[in-house]
Amino acid sequence: MEGSIKLSHGSGGKETSLILKSLILSALSEEELSLRGGVGLKELDDGAAIPLPDGTYLVVSIDAYTVNPPFFPGGDLGKLAACGTINDILMMGGEPKAILDSIVVEEGSPISDVRRIVNSFIGVLREEGVKLIGGDFKVMPRGQLDRYVVTTAGIGIAKRPIVDSSIKPGDKLIVTGTIGEHGAAILSAQEGIAVEGKLESDVNTLSKLMLPLLGAYGDKVHAAQDPTRGGLAQTLNEWAQKSGLFILVEERKIPMRDDVRAFTELLGIDPLALACEGRAVLGVEGDSAEDVLSFIKELGYEEASIIGEVRESEKYSGIVVMRTSVGGLRILEPPSGVIVPRIC
C-alpha cells in the first residue's frame, strides 16, 4: 500500500487498520510484537500490560488528541484527553494511577484558551485521584499546526489484564449507555447544524463503573472497550476479527437518544459508527450477564443494555451481523472513510 496519507487513515476504521499493518506491524517480527507473560502490540488493544514481580501488571496506554472545535458542547480538548486516557487504562482492567502529557500549541493561540484546556485536563485528574507526573510543552510556527494537539501516556495497575481477543462463545455483549453522542455533538458543532433537543458529548471517565465492576465481577468480564473512533461498529468488528467468532447484535436493544437518532437520520450517517467518549462495551460470561447488568444499573448506568451475544460459526467467522428493528439481518461492516474529521 503506497500513495499518500489520507484523513481516513486516522478515523479508526478500515483504513486505520490497513495503515497500521502496512507501516508498523509488517516491520516487526512475531517476537517483537509479543510481550512474554503480558499484553503487547500483537493484541492491538487499548494499551500494553507488563507483568510485575508481585503478580500484578503495569498497564500503559498512549494516545494523541486533536478535536475540532477544541471547545464543544459537553466538554473540551483537555477533558477529552484526560478522560480518554483514564478510560483506556480502565478498559485494560487497570486502576489508573498517573499520566504524562505533551502539549503542542500553534503560535498565536490565546493563552486564555490554552489555560482553559490545561485547567480542564488537571481538573479531571484531580477528581479521579490520578497524578500528573511529567510532560512537555512545544509551540509550532503559525500555520504549521491547526491549534492544539495533546498527547498523553497513562499508567495503571491491573490484577488481571482484560484482552479483547479473550471473548468466548456464549458471552453476552453489554453497552453501558446511549451511543453516538460524542460524534454527533462534534459533527453538529463542525457543521453548525442543530436539531430538536441538545446534542452534547458524553465525554466522561468510567472509573465509577469499571473499578466496582472489576472488584465484583472481574473474572466474568472477558472483553472491554470504550467505542471511540469508529464507534460501536468498529469495536464489535475488532472483537469478531481478533477472536474469529461470530457476533450477533439486536438493533432494537442498542440504547440511543432520540436527538442523536434524528440527527443521524437527517444526515444519512450510521450512528453505530459515531464515537462515544463515556461508554463501555463489555463482553461478559453469558451465565452472569443479567447479574452484571443489574450491578451496572445499580451503579447509576440505567440505560445499560445487553445488545447481543458471541457465537461460534465456521460460516460467519469474524463477522458481525445485526438483526434490524424490522426483523431482517444485515452485516455490520467496520466503518470506512471519514465519518467525522478531527473528532478525538
The domain spanning residue 317 has which CATH number? 3.90.650.10
Q: How many domains does the chain have?
A: 2
21 domain-assigned: no
276 domain-assigned: yes
337 domain-assigned: no
Is 267 in the same domain as 311? yes
Q: Which of 158, 193, 219 is the last residue of a domain?
A: 158
Is 201 in the same domain as 327? yes
CATH of the domain at 77: 3.30.1330.10
Q: Can you give the pLDDT at residue 312?
A: 94
Q: Which of 94, 124, 158 is the last residue of a domain?
A: 158
Residues of the chain with pLDDT below 50 are none
210 domain-assigned: yes
Is 116 in the same domain as 179? no
76 domain-assigned: yes
Is 196 in the same domain as 145? no
Q: Can you give the pLDDT at residue 48?
A: 95
> What pTM, to 2 d.p., does this model score?
0.94
Distance CA 343, CA 199 (A): 15
Q: Can you give the pLDDT at residue 342?
A: 75
33 domain-assigned: no
Q: Can you give the pLDDT at residue 21?
A: 84
Is 317 in the same domain as 185? yes
Q: Which of 137, 158, 179 is the last residue of a domain?
A: 158
Is 152 in the same domain as 177? no
Is 145 in the same domain as 183? no
Non-local (6+) Cβ contacts of 239 within 8 A are 164, 165, 167, 223, 225, 245, 247, 283, 310
Is 188 in the same domain as 117? no
Is 130 in the same domain as 67? yes
- For the chain, the maximum distance between any two Cα atoms, rounded to a whole number of angstroms, is 58
81 domain-assigned: yes
Is 63 in the same domain as 135? yes
Is 230 in the same domain as 216? yes
Give the residue carrying C-alpha cell 432520540.
258
Q: Can you give the pLDDT at residue 1?
A: 55
Q: Can you give the pLDDT at residue 324?
A: 95
Distance CA 58, CA 71 (A): 33
87 domain-assigned: yes
Is 65 in the same domain as 206? no
Q: Can you give the pLDDT at residue 144?
A: 93
Instruction: Supply the range of the domain harboring residue 243.
Output: 164-331
